[in-house]
Structure 1
Amino acid sequence: MKNLSRKLFLGSVIALAGFAASAQEFKVGIVNLDRIFREANSAKAAQTKLEAEFGKREKDLNDTATQLKTLSDKFEREAPTLSESQRNVRQKQLVDQDRDFQRKRREFQEDLNARKNEELQQVIERANKVVKALAESEKYDLIVQEAVYVNPKHDITDKVLKSLNASNGK
Structure 2
Amino acid sequence: MNSSRLKSLHLVLAAATLAFAALGVQAQELKIGYVSLDKVLRDAVPAKAAQTKLEAEFSKREKDLNEFGTRLKAAGDKLEKDQPTLAESEKTRRQRDLIDQDREFQRKRREFQEDLNQRKNEELASVVERANKVIKQIYETDKYDLILQDVVFASPRIDITDKVIKALNAQQGGK
Give the TM interval when normalised to the shorter protein.
Answer: over 0.9
- Compute the displacement of 1:38 (Å): 1.1
- Compute the displacement of 1:6 (Å): 4.3
Structure 1: distance between partners of 2:54 and 2:46? 12
The correspondence for 1:106, drawn from 99, 107, 110, is 110
Structure 1: distance between partners of 2:36 and 2:120? 19
TM-score by length of 2: 0.91
Once the two structures are superposed, residues 116-169 of structure 1 have per-residue CA deviations (whole angstroms, 9 ceiling, x without a partner) of 111111101111111111110000011112111111111000111111111117
The correspondence for 2:79, drawn from 75, 78, 97, is 75
Aligned partner of 1:135: which letter? Answer: Y
Which stretches in structure 1 are left out of the alignment for 5+ residues? none
Question: Partner residue of 1:148?
Answer: 152
- Percent of aligned positions that are identical: 58
Is 1:138 equivalent to 2:142 in the alignment? Answer: yes
Question: Partner residue of 1:52?
Answer: 56
Larger Rg: 2
Structure 2: distance between partners of 1:60 and 1:115? 19
Question: Partner residue of 2:32?
Answer: 28
Aligned partner of 1:65: which letter? Answer: G
The correspondence for 2:94, drawn from 66, 90, 93, is 90
Which stretches in structure 2 are left out of the alignment for 5+ residues? none
3-state SS of paired residue (1:167): helix
Q: What is the aligned-residue RMSD (CA, Å)?
A: 1.6
- Compute the displacement of 1:88 (Å): 1.1
Question: Partner residue of 1:128?
Answer: 132
